[in-house]
Amino acid sequence: MNNSNNDLNTLTQRFEMGDLFAQPCPSREILKHVCSRWGVLILIALRQGTHRFSELRRKIGGVSEKMLAQSLQSLTEDGFVLRVSHHLVPPFVEYSLTPMGEEVADRVAALADWIELNTLRVLDARNKIER
């Protein structure tokens, strides 16, 4: 067996690195959480600072309460979002990015920026196909 750094043939190496193309790979679930429509928008919104649930719902147009709650729960479980419950009257919950969440949010924001900057090009490509 070749022991070079580029050889990822051992089970341990493949598990540590992740294998998005393998059906049982846990990295697929993480990718789904981070790259879902709501996951992307949550991560980008939280780059601007801590938000309450209701603030996030207002900021992210079109998201239902259920989808926002599910997406926040997934991102929290993955370690990207910190959920802090304040036991006051009335009680409220705040969400913010963890250090790992800041890392992934920066990468997601770069993709979102590219999409925003190239929307007209994409729409032009769509129009050419529809003609």
Measured CA to CA, the distance from residue 56 to residue 54 in angstroms comes to 5
The tokens of 117 are what? Answer: 């900057």
State the pLDDT at residue 24.
77
34, 40 Cβ separation under 8 angstroms: yes
Q: For 27-44, how does the pLDDT look when each residue is reduced to its tens digit (9 = 90+)? A: 888 989 999 999 999 999
pTM exceeding 0.85:
no
State the pLDDT at residue 4.
46
Q: For 36-93, how does the pLDDT look when each residue is reduced to its tens digit (9 = 90+)? A: 999 999 999 999 999 999 999 999 999 999 999 999 999 999 999 999 999 988 888 9
Instruction: Please determine, for residue 121, whether its predicted confidence score (pLDDT) is greater than 80.
Output: yes
For residue 92, the 8-state DSSP code is: E
Instruction: Please determine, for residue 130, whether its predicted confidence score (pLDDT) is greater than 80.
Output: no
State the pLDDT at residue 3.
46
Number of Cβ within a 10 Å radius of residue 28 = 15
pLDDT interval class at 110 (50, 70, 90): very high
